[in-house]
Amino acid sequence: MEGQEQQLHVQSQRMKQQGEWHKQQMEQQQEHYSQLTQVINQVTERQERQDKRLQELNQCQLAQMKAFNEFNVLNEGWQLHREEFNINTQVKLTYMAGNMHNLHSAIPRYDTVHKDLTEQEEGKVKQQKEALKKKTKDAGF
């Protein structure tokens, strides 16, 4: 009988140890599960914040694109207006230059003074180039 009691005692000890080991395993699994749940929640929150920020950035980009497009339309309109003004001004100048001799007989026709005026302008350009070369040379460029 003593052998049986001892055997029962050993079995009881083993069962107790297995129960404690099983209990520890369950506690570790629960702790691990809790940690994983916490990490998953943090990742989910971070992803939600990133998604929200991305939406804000997209809205900002759309607003900037809209403003840029509006600016381009206004700029193109201004350029067209300016070109029209330049064309009209050139037409008026051409008309005036072509008809100046009609205002007074002492005013020569443009065709007759064109060559002289061109030579004068080319001379001015040459002088400006020479002055610029001298300034850059004096400055050490």
24 and 81 housed in the same domain: yes
What pLDDT is stored for residue 1 in this prediction? 63
36 and 20 housed in the same domain: yes
What pLDDT is stored for residue 105 in this prediction? 82
Residue 42: band (very low, low, confident or very high) from pLDDT cuts 50, 70, 90: very high
Cβ–Cβ < 8 Å for 98, 110? yes
Distance from C-alpha of 26 to C-alpha of 18, rounded to nearest angstrom: 12
54 and 74 housed in the same domain: yes
- Write out the two tokens for 122: 């080319």
76 and 137 housed in the same domain: no
For the chain, the average pLDDT equals 90
Would you tell me how many other CB atoms lie within 10 Å of the CB of residue 97?
13
88 and 129 housed in the same domain: no
98 and 124 housed in the same domain: no
- % the chain with pLDDT above 90: 61
- Report the length, in residues, of the chain: 141
State pLDDT tens for residues 100-123. Answer: 888 888 888 877 888 888 899 899
97 and 44 housed in the same domain: yes
State pLDDT tens for residues 57-111. Answer: 999 999 999 999 999 999 999 999 999 999 989 988 888 888 888 888 888 887 7
Structural domain of residue 90, as residue ranges? 2-107
- Rank 27-31, 116-120, 133-137 by mean pLDDT and report only the highest: 27-31
Helix axes 2-103, 110-139, angle to 10 degrees: 140
89 and 113 housed in the same domain: no
Contacts 24+ apart (CB under 8 A), 4-10: none
89 and 31 housed in the same domain: yes
**What total of structural domains would you count in the chain?**
2
113 and 103 housed in the same domain: no
- Is residue 51 over pLDDT 80? yes
> What amino acid is encoded at 125 in this protein?
V
